[in-house]
Structure 1
């Protein structure tokens, strides 16, 4: 409860002022809590942003590690970011220590790893570990770039954006399966 109050206060402040002007004192005044209480839950204000992202995206995205449901995961993630667009427009611009962009990219990379591992298990194929790492890094980096574009352009249609990302990921996965001699999904 207290941790969530601190997170809510941080989110509220992020929407009203630049992050570099937000202090722990500001956060705790907004949360109506003693300043020292902050350190019972978080190391610093960047830690709050990480917790907000990890907690909320986990709630928004279920079954994110299953190969068969990855298209649904894309829609749920984009919906989460769309619903929190103004907050993430500001957060994704933070280019300091523990930048939220790095946290988001690391999370997407982990999701891709789990999805590829589940795919390999379901399809009974072996995918080179080095290549999997390469795919994780490439896809997560490109998805973060696209996410930034989506967040900063209010004219991007959520459904169209989700479809485009799904096609992109499906093309990548089908290309890998085709190269490994596996049947590919045809729409």
Structure 2
């Protein structure tokens, strides 16, 4: 039940952030939109920024980690790119209207989880920084694409990310 309540709050937040930005979104408005009592919010989150981080993190966990054993990794990259594109207004507002949560780092964390899952165990420890920087670069490219006036197609971005990951994995395998 707790997860369902958190998801309702996250959906309310996403709806409001998309239309108003986070600065003009109050906890009261989030809870009204979610159809929940205001006090319930504080049973789960300290403030709207913690909910924002949880919401993005939860969505990316569902997209990446929950699919590791079901989908081939290039399809997961494609799903991440699609998620960002499908909810473009929410992610743009999340990046542009607040500075408390590093959306790029949240995306990079999940991409790093994916790349780490693909890498041999003995390579992961020695290449953790390289994996992080690769994933941070991919995440920054995805965010930049959301913010640009002439965005590239998400499938094109996914293909570029897959190529970068494949190249890195080959380099890591060679040692």
Any idea what SS the aligned residue of 1:40 has? Answer: coil
Gaps of 5+ in 2: none
Q: 72-81 vs 20-29, which deviates more?
A: 20-29
From 5, 16, 21, the equivalent of 1:18 is 21
Report the counterpart of residue 33 of structure 1 in structure 2.
36
CA deviation map 1:137-159 (0-9, x unaligned) = 21122012111122224531122
Q: Report runs of 4+ in structure 1 exceeding 6 Å deviation.
A: none
The structure in which a higher percent of residues are helix is 2
TM-align CA RMSD: 2.4
Asked if residue 44 in structure 1 is aligned to residue 47 in structure 2, the reply is yes
Report the counterpart of residue 154 of structure 2 in structure 1.
158
TM-score, L = length of structure 1:
0.78
Report the counterpart of residue 63 of structure 1 in structure 2.
67
The 5 A counterparts of 1:164-175 are 164-175=160-171
Asked if residue 115 in structure 1 is aligned to residue 118 in structure 2, the reply is yes
Gaps of 5+ in 1: 181-187
> Which structure would you say has the larger RCO, counting Cα contacts within 8 Å and 6 or more residues apart?
2
Q: How many residues align?
A: 170
CA deviation map 1:58-106 (0-9, x unaligned) = 333343379x922122111111111111111111335533333332233
Larger Rg computed on CA atoms: 1
How many Å apart are 1:36 and its aligned residue? 0.6
Distance 2:93 2:162 in 1: 26
Report the counterpart of residue 185 of structure 1 in structure 2.
none
Report the counterpart of residue 105 of structure 2 in structure 1.
102
Structure 1 residues 144 and 95: alpha-carbon distance in aligned structure 2, compared to 1, 3 A threshold: farther
TM-score, L = length of structure 2:
0.82
Asked if residue 136 in structure 1 is aligned to residue 131 in structure 2, the reply is yes
